[in-house]
């Protein structure tokens, strides 16, 4: 079953991450917080994106943070099972939104699912 599931994942960057997760024994049918990262040149861009992203359904948005290189980052979190279609769709939607505020997507990540929590 795992091999069939692995074969059904598209061959792109997101697919590669999902295949690695499967190979590590993760159950991709289990929901968990998935974090989508976005970067901006300045605080006002990051704050405007965070406010707009917070209006989207089923997501939470962390407060913008600045790193040691003065790059502002905003993390958008959605609790869902990590499917290729769902991750890719939300990633594109958020990237387009970030672009309207002068930012861009900087990847996504999540922790392995905790089967005991389900």
Which tens digit of pLDDT belongs to each residue from 60-89? 999 999 999 999 999 999 999 999 999 999
Full-model pTM: 0.92
Question: pLDDT: is 56 or 8 the higher one?
Answer: 56
How many angstroms from the chain centroid is the CA of residue 24?
Answer: 19
Q: Which residue has the higher pLDDT, 8 or 99?
A: 99
**Tally of structural domains, the chain:** 1
Complete DSSP assignment for 20-52: HHHHTT--TTS-EEEEEEEEESSHHHHHHHHHH
What CATH number does residue 101 fall under? 3.30.70.970
Q: What is the pLDDT of residue 113?
A: 86
Distances in Å between the alpha carbon of 52 and those of 20, 68, 82, 101?
32, 25, 23, 10
- In this predicted structure, the answer to whether residue 1 has a pLDDT above a threshold of 70 is no
The whole domain housing 55 covers: 31-111
- Give the per-residue pLDDT at 57: 94
The answer as to whether 90 is a domain residue is: yes
Residue 116: pLDDT over 80:
no
Flag whether 47 is in a domain: yes
Q: Half-sphere exposure (CA, 13 Å, Cβ side) for 8?
A: 10
Residue 11 has pLDDT above 70, yes or no: yes
Residue 89 lies in a domain: yes
């Amino acid at each position: 079953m795992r091999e069939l599931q692995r074969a059904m994942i598209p061959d792109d960057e997101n697919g590669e991450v999902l295949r690695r997760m499967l190979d590590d024994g993760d159950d991709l049918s289990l929901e968990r917080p998935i974090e989508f990262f976005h970067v901006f040149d300045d605080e006002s861009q990051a704050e405007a994106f965070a406010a707009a992203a917070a209006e989207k359904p089923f997501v939470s948005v962390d407060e913008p943070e600045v790193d040691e290189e003065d790059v502002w980052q905003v993390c958008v979190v959605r609790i869902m099972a990590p499917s290729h279609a769902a991750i890719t769709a939300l990633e594109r939607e958020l990237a387009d939104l970030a672009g309207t505020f002068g930012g861009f997507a900087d990847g996504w990540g999540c922790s392995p699912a905790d089967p005991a929590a389900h």
